Structures are given as C-alpha cells and as structure tokens.
C-alpha cells in the first residue's frame, strides 16, 4: 500500500467516525442498553413461568399458561419499564393474533429471515431509527431449546395438537426446527420521554 492509499484510508475512517457525534453515540448506547434490558426482562419472565407450569402440569398446562398468561405478563413487564418504552413479541408465522407484526416490522423480520437463509449468524439485535426520537430494537428469537419444539415443531402429542388447533384455528407457528428464526422481541424506545 502506498502513502496515498494509506492517507485516503485514514481520511475515510476518520470521516466515518465523525459522521456520528459523540453525543449520538452516547444516546445510541443508552438506547441499546434499554432494548437489551427490556427484552431480557420479558424473556426471563415468560421463560421462568413457562418452566414452572411445564414442571407442575406438563405440556398441556404450559400451553394453557402461554394462551392465557403470556400476553398479560407481557403487559405486566411493560408497566415496569420506563415511560416511553414498551416491549412485545412478534412473528411472521404467528400463533396468536396478539403477536402480529405491523407491515413495517414485517419487513425487518423478513430481512432477518433472508439473512438466516443465507447462513448469516444473526446479531443479538438490530436497531431501527423510526424518527428523531423513536427507535425500535429487534432481538431475533431463535428456536434454541428442544422444549420449544414441543409446541412449535412437528407436534407428536395428539392431545396437544388438538388443543392448539382448538385455540388457534389459524395457527402457523409449527414445523420449526432447532436453529430456525421464530420471530423477534421488539422494544420501542421513545427518547424524548426518557
């Protein structure tokens, strides 16, 4: 590499650095932190309760928990978050109508899915700027436990299959395998209210 190439590289990298002001970096960091913490709080809350009901009453009991309490518990988590921050789960292949993504959210989910199909190891999150004060933090949700397959894989348990069909006649959240992208947690963060 000659001196001119070196110089242009230096110029290029410094202009990239200067494109984001230190203040904005600071803001983005705090936005990512809120996204991280909020999504983890939701995952933990739902995961722990699901485990408990699976242990105490088996898979049908756990199904009952998901159907009747996952959404309410999500709302409970939302009450604990700072003002202007909210969290939800969405999927293109949704089971519950309460978890349908908006058209714009769907675009992001489909992009993540096409990266996944191209064998890209997905990042822990992607951050979308909606407007000057609003960001959406997407945490991809991967089918990462055998337990998920009980209700989202090729369901073997006839009674469970029947129960799911009864509760969700339009269910499209089955047929998954380990490693598949199941959906995402979306944290919406309004900066100005923080």
Binding site for ligand HEC (CB under 6 A): 59, 62-63, 66-67, 70-71, 89, 91, 94-96, 98-99, 141, 143, 145, 147-148, 150-152, 173, 182-183
Alpha-carbon distance of 86 to 79, in angstroms, equals 8
Contacts of 66 (CB under 8 A, 6+ apart): 50, 151
Give min distance, CB of 18 to ligand HEC, in A.
39
Alpha-carbon distance of 33 to 30, in angstroms, equals 5
The four Cα atoms 81, 137, 67, 56 give a dihedral, to 10 degrees, of: -70
Give min distance, CB of 127 to ligand HEC, in A.
19
CB-neighbour burial class of residue 65 (10 A; exposed 0-12, middle 13-18, buried 19+): buried
Which residue, 31 or 173, has its beta carbon nearer to ligand HEC? 173
Give min distance, CB of 63 to ligand HEC, in A.
4
Which residue, 94 or 138, has its beta carbon nearer to ligand HEC? 94
Which residue, 28 or 54, has its beta carbon nearer to ligand HEC? 54
Q: How far is CA 17 from the centre of its chain?
A: 29
Which residue, 71 or 84, has its beta carbon nearer to ligand HEC? 71
């Amino acid at each position: 590499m000659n001196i001119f190439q070196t110089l242009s590289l230096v110029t290029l990298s410094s202009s990239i650095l200067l494109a984001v002001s230190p203040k904005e970096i600071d803001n983005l960091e705090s936005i990512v932190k809120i996204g991280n913490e909020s999504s983890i709080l939701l995952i933990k809350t739902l995961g722990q309760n699901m485990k408990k009901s699976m242990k105490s009453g088996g898979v049908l009991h756990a199904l009952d928990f998901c159907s009747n309490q996952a959404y309410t518990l999500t709302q409970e988590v939302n009450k604990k978050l700072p003002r202007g921050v909210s969290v939800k789960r969405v999927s293109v292949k949704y089971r519950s109508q309460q978890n349908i993504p908006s058209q714009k959210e769907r675009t992001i989910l489909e992009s993540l899915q096409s990266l996944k199909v191209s064998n890209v190891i997905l990042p822990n999150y992607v951050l979308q700027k909606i407007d000057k004060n609003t960001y959406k933090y997407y945490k991809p949700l991967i089918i990462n436990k055998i337990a998920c397959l009980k209700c989202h894989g090729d369901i073997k348990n006839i009674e469970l299959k029947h129960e799911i069909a009864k509760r969700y006649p339009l269910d499209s959240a089955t047929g998954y395998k380990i490693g598949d992208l199941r959906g995402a947690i979306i944290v919406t963060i309004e900066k100005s209210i923080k």
